[in-house]
Amino acid sequence: MNWTCEQTEQLLTDYLDGLLPADEQHAFNLHVNSCERCTPLVGSVTHAMNSLRALPELEIPPRFVYNVLDATLGPRETVNGWAAFLVWVRGLASPKFAYGAVSVAATFLMIVTVTGSINWKKPKLADLAPSNIYRNTNRQVHVAYGKSMKYVSDLRVVYEIQSRLKQDNDLPTNRENTTPETNPTPGRTDGSGPASPRQQNRANDVSSQLQVLAEEVPLLSGKLSLVSSGSLNLMMSGTLGAR
């Protein structure tokens, strides 16, 4: 197929838009690749078309839509006073806002309850003052810290008693192997004589601490009831006296 420069120019758009049949496109390519006049023409037109297609799409000017709506539908109605307030309140009735408000309220209540900022039996507006909230929170933190320290101290006492009772259980076998006291108390031959005053005081001290602990920690009181104060005194006296 003989292809001319005129044909190239006339059918350039068909070529660029991919509308040429296969045989014509082949002839077009053959001609353009060998023609000094058509090669720059196709190159420059392709460049112009691509540059045109690369032009950015501009944003519409601000308020354009409102200007058009005002010019066609007329100025929008403006509401004042109570009507505006009602419109505003109606806007708050959306589910999104309601969920948000409920979650904020729940969070606030949780924080206020945990920090003890408000006395729910006698709530006062002053409780919501930031200084009062800070003071109450600070007090609550200190009280919680004091209670936890006391609880740890009581636990240490319980562990100490348990470890000593365990040692006491291990003693009888040892006691059988030991020789009797060389200087037993007159009138007593079972070796269960009263402990020295220092040992007695320590037993009384532990007993009183256990009582306090039982009051503070009711859960432990059942277990600790086995170790009543009287028997504890005797046990401690015996244990300590045997040493």
Partner 1 sequence: MEQDAQLVQQCLQGDGSAWEELVRRHSRRIFNICYRFTGNRTEAEDLSQDVFLRVYRTLGSYRSAHGGFATWMTSVTRNLLIDHYRRTKRDRATDSLDDAMPVVENKESAGRRPDEQALLSELSAQVQVALTHLSPELREAVILRDLQQLEYSEIQAVLAVPEGTVKSRINRGRIELARILQQMGVRPS
For partner 1, the binding residues (CB under 8 A) are 9-10, 12-14, 16, 41, 43-49, 51-61, 64-65, 67-69, 71-73
C-alpha distance from residue 241 to each of 49, 138, 175, 184, 193 (Å):
110, 48, 12, 12, 7
CA distance 12 to 46: 9
DSSP state, 119?
-
CB neighbours of 157 closer than 8 A, spacing ≥ 6? 206, 209, 210, 213
Q: How far is the CB of 15 from partner 1 (least distance, A)?
A: 10
Q: How far is the CB of 2 from partner 1 (least distance, A)?
A: 21
Q: How far is the CB of 142 from partner 1 (least distance, A)?
A: 56
DSSP secondary structure, 51-107, as one string: HHHTPPPPPPPTTHHHHHHHHHH-SPP---HHHHHHHHHHHHTSHHHHHHHHHHHHH
Q: Which residue has the tokens 């909230």?
A: 133
State how far Cα 77 lies from the chain centre.
Answer: 47
Q: Which two tokens stand for residue 170?
A: 């291990």
CB closer to partner 1 out of 33 and 192: 33
CB closer to partner 1 out of 64 and 134: 64
CB closer to partner 1 out of 73 and 126: 73
Q: How far is the CB of 69 from partner 1 (least distance, A)?
A: 6
CB closer to partner 1 out of 59 and 176: 59
CB closer to partner 1 out of 10 and 189: 10
CB closer to partner 1 out of 62 and 230: 62
Q: How far is the CB of 8 from partner 1 (least distance, A)?
A: 11
Q: How far is the CB of 86 from partner 1 (least distance, A)?
A: 21
C-alpha distance from residue 238 to each of 18, 160, 190, 213 (Å):
111, 17, 11, 23
